[in-house]
Amino acid sequence: KDKSTYDNFVWALVHKDQMKQVRDDRYDLSLTVTKDHPKLPQWLTVMSESAEITDLLLTPELIKAAENAGDSFEYLIISDQPVEQPKTLDETVPRKRIFLRYSLPSNNDYTNLVPIFQYFLRISDQLAKSAHFRPEVVKKVKAVRETMIKKIQKAEEEEKAEERAIEKEKARKAKRDAELNALDAKGQKKYLEKERERELKKGTKKMTTRA
């Protein structure tokens, strides 16, 4: 296994005031479960795909840095998934990113934010060293992503089938119009009568089948 990178997952440490909004706004966090943690103060919570991931990432250093930042801290998110819900297969390709969000102190004193910012700058190296999980955890995380890929594939196939049906109908109509235009008035009348008969037969057949 390539140890220069780390396993795919979504994990976040979030201020509870931001919890509902980030879950509503971000597709990646919709893949997680929100759980309070005994090591955290009441105003902080964890969003995670696995308890094992939380055990590794929720370090004393991170907890202390978040506590230090206090209400200025909004969230720290580690994610391999897009923020917006993917609509194409290209958008499902994992891209590892780390997000830190905080509000600026009104007194312009950033002292309390320094530890969380320093942690943010170091975390990718720490993840490359240690964020390699048991096969069971990796399998569970992978299954969630595969479900989304299957949904997108199905939607794409349905869209293509719909496009093919539209094109087929367009071609049928063009052929019919060309045939009709090639006839004189008498021929057109005969053509339209035959067409109506076919439609009536089709309708009768459908009704018989349903009955």
pLDDT, tens digit (0-9, with 9 covering 90-100), for 157-204:
999 999 999 999 999 999 999 998 999 999 999 999 999 998 888 877
DSSP category for residue 104: P
Q: Is 30 exposed, middle or buried (0-12, 13-18, 19+ CB in 10 A)?
A: middle
Report the share of the chain in percent with pLDDT over 90: 74
The reported pTM is 0.74
Do both 54 and 158 map to the same domain? no
- pLDDT of residue 19 exceeding 90, the answer is yes
Claim to verify: residue 127 and residue 166 sit in the same structural domain: no
Considering the domain architecture, whether residues 121 and 181 belong to the same structural domain is answered as no
Residue 190: both structure tokens together: 């005969």
**pLDDT on residue 3:** 46
pLDDT number for residue 97: 94
The mean predicted confidence, pLDDT, of the chain is 91
Coil, strand or helix at 9: coil
**Same structural domain for residues 159 and 125?**
no
From 133, 163, 195, the end of a domain falls on 133
68: domain range?
11-133
Report if residue 6 sits inside a domain.
no
Same domain, 78 and 41: yes
On whether both 111 and 164 belong to a single domain, the answer is no
Regarding whether 95 and 39 lie in a shared domain, the answer is yes
> Please, which pLDDT band fits residue 34 given cuts at 50, 70 and 90?
very high
**Same-domain pairing of 201 and 120:** no
The total of structural domains in the chain comes to 2
Instruction: Flag whether 142 is in a domain.
Output: no
Segment (H or E) for 129: helix 114-130
Give residue 134's pLDDT band: very low, low, confident or very high (50, 70, 90): very high
Assess whether 37 and 97 both reside in one domain: yes
Do 18 and 104 fall within a single domain?
A: yes
**Do 36 and 127 sit in the same domain of this protein?**
yes
Please indicate, yes or no, if residue 93 is contained in any of the structural domains: yes
Could you report the per-residue pLDDT of 47-87, keeping only the tens digit for each? 999 999 999 999 999 999 999 999 999 999 999 999 999 98
Per-residue confidence (pLDDT) for residue 55, from 0 to 100? 94
Inter-axis angle of helices 114-130 and 60-69, nearest 10:
160
For residue 2, pLDDT over 90 is answered with no
31 with 122, same domain: the answer is: yes
Q: What's the pLDDT band for 104 if we cut at 50, 70, 90?
A: confident
Strand bridging mode 73-79 / 97-102: antiparallel
Domain contains 106: yes
pLDDT of residue 107: 84
Instruction: Please determine, for residue 209, whether its predicted confidence score (pLDDT) is greater than 70.
Output: no
